[in-house]
Amino acid sequence: MRIGDFLVDEIYCGDALKLLKKIPDETIDLIITDPPFAIDFKGKKNNYNRKNEKVIDGYNEIPKEKYYDFTYSWIKETYRILKDTGSMYVFSGWTNLKTVLNSIDDVGFIQINHLIWKYQFGVYTKRKFVTSHYHILFVVKNQDKYKFNKIEDYPEDVIIVNREYWIGKLKTPTKLPIELVKKLILFSSDEGDIILDPFLGSGTVGVAAKLLKRHFLGFEIVPQYCDFAKKRIKEIEGNLFINGNG
């Protein structure tokens, strides 16, 4: 299956702002993404309690002074390519949350929920409270047509899912827990739908999509992350084939 220039169920290494322009209008069912935060992130800092040799280098950050233009540009493209029945989940830290919210409003998205992902630890601080949550903005193009599968009777807007420990394993500096991503996919898509992550990172959205019998498309600008994500996807596809679920 193709979407414009792209084969689905593939990862493409490159600039999301350029690659998004090559996707035809209204072809994507769901977008889940964790974009750069413009906070001068250091994924190898000792206070993350991880061994440096197990963290893949190359995290690509956006200068703070360019963050609105960057955010508005990619969100504008996602609005164009998302189906009327589609939706998007954007992860954001609190530091530049206002910029993300303004961009969402300026583009024309409708915000359905402002979710909180509560995890089990944060970076040690001396003179302020420890941050132990992310924001997840649930937005749609058409508030009368978007998909929402009520997989829980009373789904709450605070989701408690622990960060994953990959002890002794190679990892990217930031990664989403797969159980959290799977939950969002189940709520907002059906089997066979196409899920996009324009900032794929370690590839979790692609892995979760494959496990739940969805198609995916992923973009990532850091070559080392692309290779890492492709390896994860290949392992999942191999396991699914062996188990007869492919």
Of 52-56, 180-184, 207-211, which range is least confident? Answer: 52-56
In percent, how much of the chain has pLDDT > 90?
A: 74
Please report the pLDDT score of residue 167 as a whole number. 45
For the beta carbon of residue 49, count every other beta carbon within 10 angstroms.
10
First to last CA, the chain: 16
Query: Rg of the chain over CA atoms, in angstroms?
Result: 17
pTM: 0.87
Q: What is the mean pLDDT of the chain?
A: 87
Q: State how far the Cα of 75 lies from the Cα of 107, in Å rounded to an integer.
A: 7
- Look at residue 168 and tell me whether its pLDDT is greater than 70: no
Q: What is the DSSP code string of the chain? A: -EETTEESSEEEES-HHHHGGGSPTT-EEEEEE----SS---TT-GGG---GGGB--------GGGHHHHHHHHHHHHHHHEEEEEEEEEEE-STTHHHHHHHHHHHT-EEEEEEEEE-S-----SSSPPP-EEEEEEEES-TTT------SSS--SEEE-PPPP-TTS-B-SS---HHHHHHHHHHH--TT-EEEESS-TT-HHHHHHHHTT-EEEEEES-HHHHHHHHHHHHHHHHHHHHTT--
Q: What is the mean pLDDT of residues 209-234?
A: 95
Amino acid 106: pLDDT:
98
Q: How far is CA 50 from CA 36, 129, 166, 168, 227, in A?
A: 21, 22, 9, 9, 21
- Portion of the chain with pLDDT greater than 70, in percent: 83
- Judged by average pLDDT, the poorest of 50-54, 67-71, 177-181, 217-221 is 50-54
- What is the pLDDT at residue 40? 47
Distance in angstroms (rounded) separating the CA atoms of residues 149 and 195? 16
User: What average pLDDT score do residues 135-164 get?
Assistant: 95
Nearest to 103 by CA among 79, 135, 68, 136: 68
Residue type, 24: P
Domain 2-242 bears CATH identifier 3.40.50.150: yes
CA distance 31 to 29: 7
Which residues on neighbouring strands pair with residue 196, listed in sequence order? Answer: 31, 217
Q: What pLDDT, on the 0 to 100 scale, is given for residue 122? A: 72
Q: What is the average per-residue pLDDT within 139-145?
A: 97
Alpha carbons 224 and 172: distance in angstroms, whole number: 9
pLDDT exceeds 70 at position 8? yes
Q: What does the pLDDT read at residue 92?
A: 95
Domain boundaries, the chain: 2-242
Q: What is the tens place of the pLDDT at every residue in 39-94?
A: 444 444 443 444 444 444 444 568 888 999 999 999 999 999 999 999 999 999 99
What pLDDT, on a 0 to 100 scale, did the predictor assign at position 47? Answer: 38
Give the position of tokens 């998205």: 109
Amino acid sitting at position 34: D
Write down the pLDDT at residue 49.
46
What is the arithmetic mean of pLDDT over 230-243? 80
| Predicted pLDDT of residue 64 | 86
